[in-house]
Chains A and B, each alone.
Chain A
Amino acid sequence: MSELLEIDNLETILHTGDAPVHAVDGLSLTISKGETFALLGESGCGKSMTALSIMRLLPDVGEILAGSIKINGQDLLQLPETNMRTIRGKHISMIFQEPMLSLNPVLTIAEQINEVLTRHFNLTSEACQKRIVELLDQVGIPDASRRMHDYSFQFSGGMKQRAMIAMALAGEPQLLIADEPTTALDVTIQAQVLELMRQIQQRNHMAILLITHDLGVVSEMAQRIAVMYAGEIVELATRENFFANPAHPYSKQLFASLPEKQKRDQPLAVISGNVPSLTQTFVGCRFADRCDHAMERCHQLPPQWETMVTGHQVRCHLYSNSETQRASHQSTQLRLGLEENTQAEVISSSTNTTLLKVDNLKVHFPIRRGLFKRVVGQVKAVDGLSLTIHSGKTLALVGESGCGKTTVGKSILQLISPTEGSVRFKNQELIGLEREALRQMRSEFQFVFQDPYSSLNPRMRIIEILSEGMDALNVTATHEPDHKKNPTAFPREKAIDALLQQVGLPLETKWRYPHEFSGGQRQRIAIARALAVNPKLLICDEPTSALDISVQAQILNLLNSLQNNLGLAFLFITHNIAVVEYLADDIAVMYLGRIVERGQIDEVTSNPKHPYTQALLSAVPHINQKEEKNVIRLKGDMPSPAKPPSGCHFHPRCPHVMSACKESYPQPSTFSSTHTTHCFLYTQEHHSSDHEH
């Protein structure tokens, strides 16, 4: 195979703050024609800066110091800007992470694609239109000739990413740089987009530089993989070699910190410490401070490339010695995470009391139109949902974005007042409770939000954030009920120290502001804030989806140990099946405001009954999968909850659709005492209670 892209010793720095940040530091890689090359790494390791350096689209503060980037032998860094414009789009094009932000909302899709075509080709306007239709057809947009005149906001998330890909393909590039192309998408949509990218690659014989943090996506797409850490590549391998035998300690740790079903009941391995600041100059190996195998030499000499087998290189001192030593090191066990977790005593595993019971919960938002704000319709965000959480247990609520998961969480907490139904906490009905009466109950259940960046008030110090809940609910120190009578400043501060210890943060951090913390630390603070009032139930709304894999492992370990030590119950709202398999006891799968299947985690994941659950589970990209995986691809997107389909909500996308599905909502079918689903494929229970579904 001939080389398409050759990057040699690329050095990019960012002039931010006092010292320049070495975002990319001596990176070399080659990509052949028609190859998918994955650049894997956590946030802040310089992946995106590499991509932007290749496109020469660095932000104003960025600067390429040294190196060469050759495409077909032509050095891009020597070209004047005007020539570069013919390269962009024609030879290299790029798709971005957020399809919502990458399309201009005031131009139609056709106009935006046309921009690329007129720049790079001498086409008549009719030929242009024809080509646009062709491109949109190619990326699977139905009814392309009509849809091309739509604006981007009329497209759904998956369609936008398809349109974005069509735009990137318009110049018939030889290299497509995809910067986290599916991170913002749901698993079923992600499966669609990845499949599309694979097809197009085969058809056009185009090379793809895939930038991602998701090992699953890498294992599905890539042929060769480079692992990036702190601005440099630490391992370079083919997919088979990499997944069979990751060599660098960092890659190994990444695998170890992935949550999986097999790792249940044991803490995940965590990488101690944080990604080092890229402003410093490194002497030895960049990973040495966090590495379990670090030797004296690692801190003194930068490691050189060592070849494991052909096409598998690693930058680590472990492999520079004789074969025997290598073998001995490879057999060493990975250190497992937080020590204290392993001996965590189990308090409440035996108690099986019902903590929270939600019955037929409905949350409808009225759609108001016109001068007098008449109600013209309802957005049925949650439509007749029932679930039960036992104390000390974890229930996972799984579903794609827009299915109403978060609304469920918020309406249980009465942050959104439900339209109908009942929420009983310890047999106390919450709906319709007066504000003051509800306030008394609030210390029992708390919320952990998805985005740790917006869930902490930027103008309050940590101590103020943590003490807010205590002040509002008049709770005092966590384990010191004798202080209840005198909530003076002193025990309050002690309680906060205890909380910070509990979530693993240093005590002096309480005087700092949230912006001084990293994402994982912020999420710890958010958890500490919820714990401050001694809740029994914690509703976690995607608490790890904004975090890196290694940080996610830390938070999951923390949640696990909290459950063991404090006997907390969790309602875990997520779309990440791997996390669910690792953490949850029970699972409820939600589609468009209704639960389609629920049961114990093993029952549902090993034997999914509902077609939607089956599709959802099959769409999750797995590492170490067998070669052929039967992915059930769903057609289209989730319908709007303002106009849900009649009968079973899933029928327009269901592969097993029958005529009965369109007419009425199926009654539950029971498989075991815990496992039920709503689907006509299975025998229907005709019990007397006539819920108006």
Chain B
Amino acid sequence: MPFDPVILWTDALIYLLVIIVVSFAWHVRNDEHLLAPWRRVTHSASGMSALTVLFFFVTIGLLDTAHFRLALDHKNSQGETVYSVEVLSLLDVLVTPLRNNVEKTYSAPLATHLYSKETIDLPDGSRIRTFARLEFGGAHLQNPEIEHQADIQWRILIGIGYGLIFWGFLVASLCLILARRCQQNFLQCLNTIWRRKTEVPWHAILITLAIILSLIGATYMLATNYHVLGTDKVGQDVLYQSLKSIRIALIIGTLTTLIMLPFALLLGIMAGYFRGWIDDVIQYTYTTLNSIPSVLLIAAAVLMMQVYIETHPELFETIAARADLRLLFLCIILGITSWTGLCRLLRGETLKLREMEYIQAAHAFGVSHWRIITRHILPNVMHIVLIATVMDFSGLVLAEAVLSYVGVGVDPSMISFGTMINAARLEMAREPMVWWALMSAFGFMLTLVLSANLFADAVQNALDPRVQTLTHKYKILRRSQKNSLTPSKQANTLNHSTNRPKRDS
């Protein structure tokens, strides 16, 4: 075999997560009544654009999750294949030039020369201090000063062109599929999409796709010969670092939540539902946990873990396995320290819900506690869970950055947004400033978190049957032409959609 698959701990958990998501999707697909609210998700333009963006992020994350070790050329004494100690991912292979084209030190995005002057020995023996040419960035140019601008513009145009051609191909195939499904001809179908008449906002999805694909095209054309986002202190390509960081961000955002959720859900709902001494115990636990500075707790745990790893090198085959275990442990410790906020929210909501009459009705039927919790309370707190999870996502990605700053974050051999931001601390203090590493970390994180937020918003709107009736109220008003008659209105919280009389209890 030319490679040896490696499944790291976090990989296994991600595969598990994927399996859960896929089987859930399968379950929903087969149930018409469960499917209906999810169909409503696909009707939100912002949600679907966000999903398109997320799709690319998740694809990169998944590509980076498929790890393996390549076989080396020589065999060992028993004739078995020997595999490299370096663990690679599919992403690494796909972007090999980015990984391998390492410069000496900092270079600005799309630059042909280094960012700082250095002393160069000329062939005639003399020395000059100048900006040295890059080893890979713009190496194909004979005369960078003249050709540089034109070359970049040309490549961008070609890249966008490629992107748009591919996009056109996608549009055409989409139209063909839709046309076949709706028994229309191709042009009619294109027309309905263009005039935004479709139920699923294809126009929004296609516009997002057009932007992303032309960006990818341009980047692809440039990346073969330039460092699109510059290089860092040791000359590594920042674009490559950013791409690698996506997986870490996704892992910290999702796995931590996955670890935290059972604690928060179970304990929060139990505290609110059972009251009494159970409530007291849970409350004291999270109040105590909350009053310990979380950074301190995490630092202590991670340092202990670090010592353990260093004293047991025999447990880890590769550096990647070691770094990965540390990442997993970081997720766990972040999860254990961050469940308190959600737990408190859920306890409060459950306290409110348990007095609702439908819970009382369930009690009157002798429904078991477990069933009441899972069938009545859990679905009614899911919106809080969803919001808290997404809000935490960005917070956790940032927490990782903070921890890396303290030195207890991910393994130094791992590239993450945290380590990039941490490195930027010194880069920003330099003169002239190195801004691109921070900018690209910022850009990628912003896109990721924003699209996750927008998508979660759409999901929440579609899944909450009560919100469904409320959203109509907030539609933008059409102003009447009779403005002279229109009295100014004051905000009034009168709820007239459910115009019911409230009478005494």
Contact call A77/B487, Cβ cutoff below 8 A: yes
Q: How far is the CB of A384 from chain B (nearest CB, A)?
A: 23
Q: Hey, what's the 0/1 contact readout for B479-496 against A, CB within 8 Å counting as 1?
A: 010101111111111101
A606 on interface, CB distance cutoff 8 Å: no
A415 on interface, CB distance cutoff 8 Å: yes
Q: How far is the CA of A189 from the CA of B176 in the complex (A)?
A: 71
- Chain A residues within CB distance 8 Å of chain B: 14-18, 23, 43-44, 48-49, 52, 56-66, 77-78, 81, 84, 97-98, 180, 183-186, 213, 401, 406, 410, 413, 415, 435, 438-439, 442, 446-447, 449-451, 453-461, 464-465, 468-469, 472-473, 511, 513, 515, 519, 526, 529-530, 533, 542, 545-546, 548, 575
Q: How far is the CA of A334 from the CA of B110 in the complex (A)?
A: 88
Number of chain B residues whose Cβ lies closer than 8 Å to a Cβ of chain A: 50
Contact stretch, chosen from B77-85, B119-127, B256-264, B467-475: B467-475
Contact call A60/B489, Cβ cutoff below 8 A: yes
Q: Which of the residues A16, A62, A446, A451 comes within 8 Å of B357, measured between beta carbons? A: A451
B9 on interface, CB distance cutoff 8 Å: no
Contact call A14/B496, Cβ cutoff below 8 A: yes
On chain B, the residues within 8 Å of A548 by CB distance are 501
Q: How far is the CA of A413 from the CA of B477 in the complex (A)?
A: 49
Most buried by B among A56, A61, A455: A61
Total A-B contacts with CB atoms under 8 angstroms apart: 165
Q: Which of the residues A186, A439, A526 comes within 8 Å of B366, measured between beta carbons? A: A439
Contact call B497/A58, Cβ cutoff below 8 A: no
On chain A, the residues within 8 Å of B371 by CB distance are 472
**21 sampled A-B residue pairs with Cβ under 8 A:** A16-B497, A56-B489, A64-B485, A66-B482, A66-B485, A77-B485, A81-B488, A84-B487, A415-B364, A442-B364, A447-B360, A447-B361, A458-B466, A460-B376, A461-B33, A464-B375, A468-B367, A515-B466, A542-B505, A545-B504, A575-B504
B26 on interface, CB distance cutoff 8 Å: no
On chain B, the residues within 8 Å of A435 by CB distance are 366
B181 on interface, CB distance cutoff 8 Å: no
Q: Hey, what's the 0/1 contact readout for B283-320 against A, CB within 8 Å counting as 1?
A: 00000000000000000000000000000000000000
Q: How far is the CB of A529 from chain B (nearest CB, A)?
A: 7
Contact call B502/A52, Cβ cutoff below 8 A: no
B224 on interface, CB distance cutoff 8 Å: no
Q: How far is the CB of B159 from chain A (nearest CB, A)?
A: 44
B52 on interface, CB distance cutoff 8 Å: no
Contact call A442/B478, Cβ cutoff below 8 A: no
Docked complex: B438-474 residues within 8 A CB-CB of A: 465-466, 468-469, 472-473
Main SS at interface, chain A: loop
Q: How far is the CA of A465 from the CA of B359 in the complex (A)?
A: 11
On chain B, the residues within 8 Å of A459 by CB distance are 379-380, 465
Q: Which of the residues B465, B469, B477, B504 comes within 8 Å of A15, measured between beta carbons? A: B477
- In the complex, the chain A residue whose C-beta lies closest to that of B492 is A59
On chain A, the residues within 8 Å of B475 by CB distance are 15-17
Q: Which of the residues B33, B364, B465, B494 comes within 8 Å of A52, measured between beta carbons? A: B494
Q: Which of the residues A48, A77, A406 comes within 8 Å of B494, measured between beta carbons? A: A48
Q: How far is the CA of A189 from the CA of B420 in the complex (A)?
A: 70
Q: How far is the CA of A250 from the CA of B180 in the complex (A)?
A: 54
Q: How far is the CA of A58 from the CA of B485 in the complex (A)?
A: 14
On chain A, the residues within 8 Å of B496 by CB distance are 14, 16, 23, 48-49, 59
B183 on interface, CB distance cutoff 8 Å: no
On chain A, the residues within 8 Å of B482 by CB distance are 65-66
On chain A, the residues within 8 Å of B376 by CB distance are 457, 460
Q: How far is the CA of A546 from the CA of B376 in the complex (A)?
A: 23
Contact call A64/B360, Cβ cutoff below 8 A: no
On chain B, the residues within 8 Å of A15 by CB distance are 475, 477-478
Q: How far is the CB of A593 from chain B (nearest CB, A)?
A: 16
Asked whether A458 and B465 contact (CB < 8 A) given A65-B485, A472-B368, the answer is: yes
Q: How far is the CA of A526 from the CA of B362 in the complex (A)?
A: 12
